[in-house]
Amino acid sequence: MRVILLGAGASKSYSDSKTNVRMPVANDFFETYQKLRISENPWVLIGSILNYVQKFRGINIEDFGSYNGDIEDLHSEIEANLLDSLSSKDDFFSNVNDVMFLNAYNQLIFLFTSVINEIQNGPISKSHISLANQLNGDDIVITFNWDTLMDRALNEVTNWNTTNGYYVKPRMIYRDKWESIEYNDEKNDFSLILKLHGSSNWLTSHWDKELKLIQEISPSEFFIYESNDKPYSTHDGRYMEGYEDFSYGYYPPNLPLKGRDVPEGMVFVRATLRNPFTPKGKSNSSGLISMPLIIPPVKKKEYNKFGSLFSNLWDKAQESIQKATQIVIIGYSFPKTDVRSNDLFKTAFLKRTDMPEIIILNPEPEQIAERFQHEFGITDDKLKVIKDYFTEDFDLSKII
């Protein structure tokens, strides 16, 4: 079996977006956002982000259009302040900064996912189609990306589907309505995609002030958005049309759930504050408000907030790396800040009795190759390095 590991460089290959913009990386995220029409949409919430960068980074609100901060640094800083506020006092929300930290944290998750949805909202990626055509049912795709470029490609040219294709099983899938899932034990004849940081089309409920999900079901349970032909129920009815399958406007569909029961003697109060000049949504708003289920680009990644969901995914990824005869790494640079991805390979290789073939496709592969040699113990005869970009014109026979 083969493992195909996809990083940000693989997503950068997508050039057919309706927006004429490519997927961002950490240090050009806000520049990319400003190029998109959502930057002018009043339904796209950035108020708490603006307040935060003005108060803590000295960026005037009127200058945010030219802000070019690293989203990983900003999101990590906001998360650290939020967690510090949670741990330092019993009465969270007693300070106006507490509300700003929580809202800014959530707004960045929505904004990050919305940028991805806008850019991937176009024809299916040709480079990912070419890759999907080379895979068989024993291969495993591992990705740290949040986009659905590979998902759509496999769905188009193979029998891959959202019901069984992610290894972890969703509770329900939205296909113009919420559909319950029936599973069987038959072996799949398509590649699995292990999305180790979540996905732009995975959904969960919002957080409460203690950063616990407000859904009444287990935090491990999640939902998938696939497609719609008619407006769906969402926050304040703010449905946005014009999106391809696996992509949606800023607000995803509400979940067919109720919220957690509140402590005795208390009630949950939900209010929507609307600028009088902001248009009201025209769909309905029944159900539990949802949000994207992603592990955001922060330095301290909180996988355990979602119960066993991500531990199951990472365990399967480790098992796959242990068993693979060939590992193809496309556009992933093994950043030192992502400690868990490095540990994933170290642990898997320590449990192997043989050495796999490693193929690296990257325009700057030197440091990655050195890491595999010096940290992971891969010998020269098992290491193939191709200094190139993953594009629709790349000859995949060189690596697969």
Model confidence over 64-111: pLDDT tens digits? 999 999 999 999 999 999 988 888 766 656 678 888 999 999 999 999
Kind of pairing between the strands at 357-362 and 383-387 = parallel
Provide the edge-to-edge strand list for the sheet that holds 223-227: 178-180, 172-175, 223-227, 198-205, 290-294
Res 293 pLDDT > 90:
yes
Res 249 pLDDT > 80:
yes
- Both tokens of 391, joined, read 């594009």
Where do the structural domains in the chain lie, given as residue ranges? 2-13+125-168+188-197+306-398, 26-122+200-302
The DSSP call for residue 290 is E
Res 174 pLDDT > 50:
yes
Query: What pLDDT, on the 0 to 100 scale, is given for residue 267?
Result: 45
Query: What pLDDT, on the 0 to 100 scale, is given for residue 91?
Result: 65
Res 210 pLDDT > 80:
no
Query: What pLDDT, on the 0 to 100 scale, is given for residue 279?
Result: 82
| 329-357 residue pLDDT tens | 999 998 776 789 989 999 999 999 999 99
In words, the CATH class of domain 2-13+125-168+188-197+306-398 is alpha beta
Do 237 and 280 touch, CB atoms closer than 8 A?
Answer: yes
Question: Is the model more confident about 99 or about 185?
Answer: 99
Do 389 and 13 touch, CB atoms closer than 8 A?
Answer: yes
In whole angstroms, give the CA distance from residue 137 to residue 164: 12
Do 7 and 332 touch, CB atoms closer than 8 A?
Answer: yes
Q: Which residues have CB under 8 Å from 42's CB, separation 6+?
A: 275, 277, 278, 279
User: pLDDT band for position 123 (50/70/90)?
Assistant: very high
